[in-house]
Amino acid sequence: MVPVTDIGDLAQRIAAGERRALARGITLIESSRTDHRDAATALLGALPQDRQALRIGLSGTPGVGKSTFIEAFGMMLTARGLRVAVLAVDPSSARSGGSILGDKTRMDRLSRAPNAFIRPSPSQTHLGGVARRTREAVRLCEGAGFDVVLIETVGVGQSETQVAQMADLFVLLLAPAGGDELQGVKRGIMEMADMILINKADGDLKPAAMRTCADYAGALRLLRKRPQDPDDFPKAMMVSALQEAGIADAWTEMERLTAWRRDTGHFDATRAAQARYWFEADVRTALLAQLDRPEARDRMERLAAAVADGAAEPGAAAAEMLAFLRS
């Protein structure tokens, strides 16, 4: 791990675009040790603050082709001279706590591209589809000078909405004939999507993809209009990551939406609201961390046993625990 005295040197190397230094910085960011957290905070403060990448969150159910799409999308962007960072969040086992972290092996071409950086990270059972420190990893990638940061969620479905709190654009990938499209409108993840891309629009699945795209385009019109969207957004489009078809058109629409939001002030307003959200989330996390102190755990255990035995009311026991934390 990086000694605290080397933080300034590490920040300079990250700012110079060294991928190995960036990887070490993300490892430091993801550590939960108290001294490492202090060093991580110092590292974030030492990075250039004037660099800004386009943050794109990608979500979708398992098997929809997120990794294949990201590789094709990333290769298209690097071919245009853009530097692309991919932060792929892998699910962690609730039993063992381990993760396979195999996303990089599925992006063989992109992992060898000189203008690309891929970092798989474990979710560590953190809900919302992203790891707890993904937002800070995004900041490191911006400090390293990347133009586009792609955030791939774990891919479990409706709960993956937290990525929208750290992304400028939220893209939802769906497969053709994936079920009742109108049922999908109820999902919170649908209401946050800026674009819906129907992947695997090739071969025998193309007719089904066309029907699915039309159904979702109609369903999106039923949703309440959001102030951060121009008239024709959110929208549904078809892509084929395998044949690399429709991907350039999707990027053109992403650029158009981003430019509109910059011109109207929605881009900066969203970034400000996101910063406020994560400030409040960090405060809540720090407050909950007080329960992990040995003396707090002992008091919690005694009070929980009293509640289980019927010797204390849950409300009264909770009030006693809160009073203990305040003391």
Chain segment 46-100, per-residue pLDDT in tens: 998 888 999 999 988 778 888 899 999 999 999 999 999 999 886 544 344 444 4
Amino acid at 193: A
Q: Are 75 and 110 in contact (CB under 8 A)?
A: yes
What is the structure's pLDDT at 131? 55
Of the candidate ranges 110-119, 177-186, 206-215, the one whose mean pLDDT is the lowest? 177-186
Q: How many helices (H) and strands (E) does the chain have?
A: 13, 7
**What pLDDT was estimated at residue 276?**
93
Q: Could you read off the pLDDT of 198-216 as tens digits, one per residue?
A: 999 998 999 999 998 998 8
What is the DSSP secondary-structure string of 40-81? Answer: HHHHHHHS-SS--PEEEEEEE-TTS-HHHHHHHHHHHHHHTT
Whether residue 275 is predicted with pLDDT greater than 60 in this model: the reply is yes
With a threshold of 0.75, does the pTM exceed it?
yes
Taken in order of first residue, the domains within the chain and their CATH numbers are 1-48 (1.20.5.170), 51-263 (3.40.50.300), 279-326 (no CATH)
Rounded mean pLDDT, 128-145: 80
169-174 β-sheet, strand order:
116-122, 84-90, 148-152, 54-60, 169-174, 195-198, 235-238
